[in-house]
């Protein structure tokens, strides 16, 4: 066998070449294989799994690549705002609360619906000028029937001793939490913005704040461990826990279930607009939504050709969608900073 | 003629300037910027709020508690290593290094099981009759310190082992022959010998604990607020980057002062065998 010899200079060149290749942007490398790749931000957990597993093959068939990047809506905003002109994501996934901020900061753009083959299959209320609604998250209360009785609503959680120390909350940074707090403000205060009443409630019932965590994702882990028995959730949280074998049930609060449409947005300044349109179209297609509606995701389908499963119908039907509580996000966004700071001061107090 | 070594240092200097000094300068710059120009307003806002000051104190306290915990655990383990034969030494090194190779996130989530109502600590307390009902250490500072001690323990064991392997075992024998008891040997001989390692470990543990965002957030919950969570809140939720930068600079300076003090002590001539 020939002796293999390599000089120090050649070895250095090889290393530099390898390093340079690895530093190439993902999109450039992907270009070699596909027409275009969309870097799409989705919420971590259920969303990330479902979107990666279901949409990636559909996009591939269309000749596009798809990279799913998990990030909470607030984190998506922060990252895009930190990179003006060079957005880290081509597509964003957000509820109306963050969408308003994204529009104000000029980081998303209006879409051209004629580029979406499945656009006409969406109900007009799901056809946003800034992107299609891919599902409606229905929020309520998750509880473990092995540990606590079925709660009637938010009031029960503060007034029934059965829930003492077993309810978990998060701060106002979470959309799920902020929607629950606005409902509690209606019950104990003069309206959804009367957060002073909620803060007073927390001050008067410190035992209810025992299990406060930073993120709703942590709550699912804590629920699995039996550390908590009740938390504010969306139906998809419950579906996920059930799919993991947990005894978890969903309750519509007696005051009504807060809901939030979830939309895909086209990031301003993206260089992969074609791929983003393909991604939007895939997400609202019947092929994808027929899978999203199944466990463990169980997302409410916005495509009118997709029939609801019995499990989703048990939570909400298409007719019931209109009766859900849709918060005023403009008002929430106006107060959110102050609420977040006040909440932190109270709970850490 | 003796050649200058400067050209060989240039790549390292360039990397330090590009990846360390420049981002740091940007961070510091951000903390003084406002729409109207340069301001100290962000620092005034930070120190003007009693809550922020309390968070800073909590963070320093968490770091100190973890330093104490890791020292109490790390010193006996390092001494055991020093006294052991080859096989036990390999076992100790293996057990010390393996957790370091596991993600901090995984270790943190494992602590949820250990500290929870159904975890081994709760079960043991009930079995011993100390508590009559399941007890959770989640969302408590004690639970957080326990988790941080386990996570940061290798950072103190490894410098101690490095010091002890250079130490002659005959020193303790000489002390024994001179009539010193085990406690006296530990306090008057071993601890001074180990001090440089301890100081290095304390620096690493304190810095790691005070900046450990994931563990603080998961185990400590939202009731125990520390500076990294405050910075994350300002950047990721409130988008107030100048204030976040000011908080980061305050954390950097307060931690930095402590680390500089410890470093200066560790370089003292008497601690380096120049008594």
| Chain B residue numbers touching A334 (CB-CB < 8 A) | none
Residue with tokens 């040997």: B185
Tell me what pLDDT residue A33 has. Answer: 52
| Chain B residue numbers touching A213 (CB-CB < 8 A) | 139, 217-218, 221-222
How far CA A104 is from CA of A18, A74, A109, B51, in Å, comes to 42, 14, 11, 30
Residue with tokens 């901020």: A101
Q: Are A38 and A272 in contact (CB under 8 A)?
A: yes
pTM exceeding the 0.90 threshold for the entire prediction:
no
Tell me what pLDDT residue B8 has. Answer: 87
* ipTM of this complex prediction, to 2 decimal places: 0.77
Mutate which: B121, B214, B222, vs A, most A CBs within 10 A = B222
pLDDT in tens, A94-110: 999 999 999 999 999 99
Tell me what pLDDT residue A347 has. Answer: 81
Mean pLDDT value of segment B219-242: 89
Q: Do B217 and A77 touch (CB under 8 A)?
A: no
Q: Are B28 and B242 in contact (CB under 8 A)?
A: no
How far CA A22 is from CA of A36, A326, B31, in Å, comes to 19, 46, 34
Q: Radius of gyration of chain A from Cα atoms?
A: 23
pLDDT tens for chain A, 349 residues: list them. Answer: 445 566 667 767 767 766 665 555 544 554 455 578 999 999 988 899 999 999 999 999 999 999 999 998 988 999 999 888 889 999 999 999 999 999 999 999 999 999 999 999 999 999 999 999 999 999 999 999 999 999 999 999 999 999 988 999 998 888 999 999 999 999 999 999 999 999 999 888 877 777 888 778 889 989 998 889 999 999 989 998 998 999 999 999 999 999 999 999 999 999 999 999 999 999 999 999 999 999 889 999 999 999 999 999 998 999 999 899 999 999 999 999 999 999 988 887 6
Nearest-CA distance B219 → chain A (Å): 9
Q: Do B51 and A210 touch (CB under 8 A)?
A: no
Q: Are A173 and A337 in contact (CB under 8 A)?
A: no
Chain B contact for A291, CB < 8 A? no
Closest CB to A340: pick one of B55, B224, B233: B233
Q: At what angle do helices B104-115 and B141-164 cross, to 10 degrees?
A: 130
Tell me what pLDDT residue A8 has. Answer: 67
Tell me what pLDDT residue A200 has. Answer: 93
Nearest-CA distance B93 → chain A (Å): 32
Q: Do B229 and A214 touch (CB under 8 A)?
A: yes
pLDDT in tens, B13-39: 999 999 999 999 999 999 998 877 889
In chain A, alpha helices (H): 8-23, 26-31, 46-50, 56-61, 73-82, 96-104, 154-159, 175-188, 195-204, 216-224, 235-243, 273-283, 286-292, 310-315, 329-348
Q: Would you call A117 helix, strand, or coil by DSSP?
A: coil
Chain centre distance of CA B273: 26
| Chain A residue numbers touching B229 (CB-CB < 8 A) | 214
With CA atoms as reference, the chain B residue closest to A81 would be: B239
> Which residue has better confidence, B129 or B36?
B129
Burial (0-12, 13-18, 19+ Cβ within 10 Å), B264: exposed
Mutate which: A208, A344, A349, vs B, most B CBs within 10 A = A344
Interface of B with A (CB under 8 A): 51, 54-55, 109, 112-113, 116-119, 136, 138-139, 217-218, 221-225, 229, 233, 235-241
Q: Do B229 and A225 touch (CB under 8 A)?
A: no
Closest CB to A347: pick one of B109, B223, B238: B223
Closest CB to A221: pick one of B109, B119, B240: B109
Q: Do A225 and B51 touch (CB under 8 A)?
A: no
pLDDT in tens, B158-181: 999 999 998 888 888 899 999 999
Closest CB to B112: pick one of A81, A82, A227: A227
Q: Do A78 and B235 touch (CB under 8 A)?
A: yes
Tell me what pLDDT residue A22 has. Answer: 57
d(CA A219, CA A169): 8
DSSP A317: -
Enclosing H/E stretch for A233: strand A230-234
How far CA A108 is from CA of A79, B30, B188, in Å, comes to 13, 25, 67
**Helices and strands of chain B, counted as H and E runs:** 14, 2
**Bond into B31 cis (ω within 30):** no
DSSP B38: E
Token pair in block for residue A5: 């010899």
With CA atoms as reference, the chain A residue closest to B114 would be: A225
Q: What backbone torsions phi and psi does residue B267 show, to the nearest 5 degrees?
A: -95, 5
Tell me what pLDDT residue A1 has. Answer: 45
Mean pLDDT value of segment B235-258: 90
């Amino acid at each position: 066998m020939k002796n293999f010899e390599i000089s120090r200079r050649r070895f250095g060149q090889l290393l530099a070449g390898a390093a340079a290749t690895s530093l190439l942007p993902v999109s450039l490398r992907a270009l070699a294989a596909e027409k275009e790749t969309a870097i799409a931000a989705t919420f971590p957990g259920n969303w990330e799994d479902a979107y990666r597993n279901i949409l990636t093959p559909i996009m591939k068939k269309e000749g596009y690549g798809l990279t799913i990047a998990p990030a909470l809506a607030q984190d998506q905003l922060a990252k895009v705002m930190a990179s003006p002109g060079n957005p880290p994501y081509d597509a964003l996934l957000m509820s109306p609360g963050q969408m308003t901020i994204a529009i104000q900061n000029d980081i998303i753009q209006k879409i051209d619906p004629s580029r979406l083959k499945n656009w006409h299959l969406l109900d007009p209320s799901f056809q946003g000028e800034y992107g299609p609604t891919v599902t409606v998250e229905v929020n309520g209360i998750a509880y473990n029937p092995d540990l606590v009785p079925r709660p009637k609503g938010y009031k029960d959680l503060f007034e029934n001793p059965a829930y003492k120390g077993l309810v978990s909350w998060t701060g106002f940074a979470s959309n799920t939490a902020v929607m629950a707090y606005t409902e509690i403000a209606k019950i104990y205060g003069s309206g959804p913005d009367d957060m002073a009443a909620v803060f007073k409630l927390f001050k008067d019932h410190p035992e209810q704040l025992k299990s406060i965590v930073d993120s709703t994702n942590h709550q699912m882990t804590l629920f699995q461990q039996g550390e908590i028995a009740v938390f504010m959730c969306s139906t998809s949280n419950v579906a996920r826990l059930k799919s993991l074998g947990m005894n978890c049930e969903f309750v519509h609060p007696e005051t009504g279930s807060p809901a939030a449409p979830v939309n895909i947005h086209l990031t301003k300044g993206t260089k992969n607009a074609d791929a983003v349109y393909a991604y939007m179209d895939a997400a609202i297609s019947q092929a994808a939504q027929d899978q999203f509606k199944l466990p463990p995701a169980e997302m409410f389908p916005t495509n009118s050709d997709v029939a609801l499963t019995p499990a989703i119908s048990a939570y909400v039907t298409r007719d019931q969608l209109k009766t859900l509580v849709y918060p005023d996000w403009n008002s929430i966004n106006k107060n959110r900073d102050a609420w977040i700071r006040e909440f932190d001061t109270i709970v850490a107090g | 003629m003796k050649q200058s070594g400067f050209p060989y240092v240039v790549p390292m200097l360039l990397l330090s300037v590009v990846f360390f000094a420049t981002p740091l300068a940007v961070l510091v710059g951000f903390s003084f910027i406002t729409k109207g120009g340069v301001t100290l307003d962000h620092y005034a806002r930070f120190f003007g709020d009693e809550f922020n000051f309390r968070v800073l104190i909590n963070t320093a306290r968490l770091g100190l508690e973890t330093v104490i915990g890791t020292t109490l655990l790390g010193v006996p383990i390092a001494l055991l290593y020093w006294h052991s034969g080859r096989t036990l030494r390999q076992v100790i090194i293996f057990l010390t290094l393996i957790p370091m190779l596991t993600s901090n996130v995984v270790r943190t989530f494992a602590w949820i099981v250990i500290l929870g109502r159904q975890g081994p600590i709760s079960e043991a307390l009930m079995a011993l009759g100390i508590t009559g009902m399941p007890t959770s250490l989640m969302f408590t500072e004690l639970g957080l310190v326990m988790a941080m001690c386990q996570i940061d323990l290798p950072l103190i064991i490894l410098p101690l082992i490095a010091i002890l392997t250079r130490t002659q075992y005959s020193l303790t024998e000489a002390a024994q022959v001179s009539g010193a008891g085990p406690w006296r040997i530990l306090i008057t001989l071993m601890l001074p010998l180990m001090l440089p390692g301890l100081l290095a470990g304390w620096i690493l543990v304190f810095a790691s604990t005070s900046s450990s965002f994931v563990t603080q957030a998961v185990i400590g919950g939202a009731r125990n607020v520390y500076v990294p969570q405050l910075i994350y809140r300002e950047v990721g939720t409130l988008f107030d980057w100048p204030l976040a930068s000011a908080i980061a600079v305050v954390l950097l300076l307060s931690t930095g002062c402590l680390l500089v003090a410890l470093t200066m002590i560790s370089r003292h001539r008497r601690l380096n065998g120049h008594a």
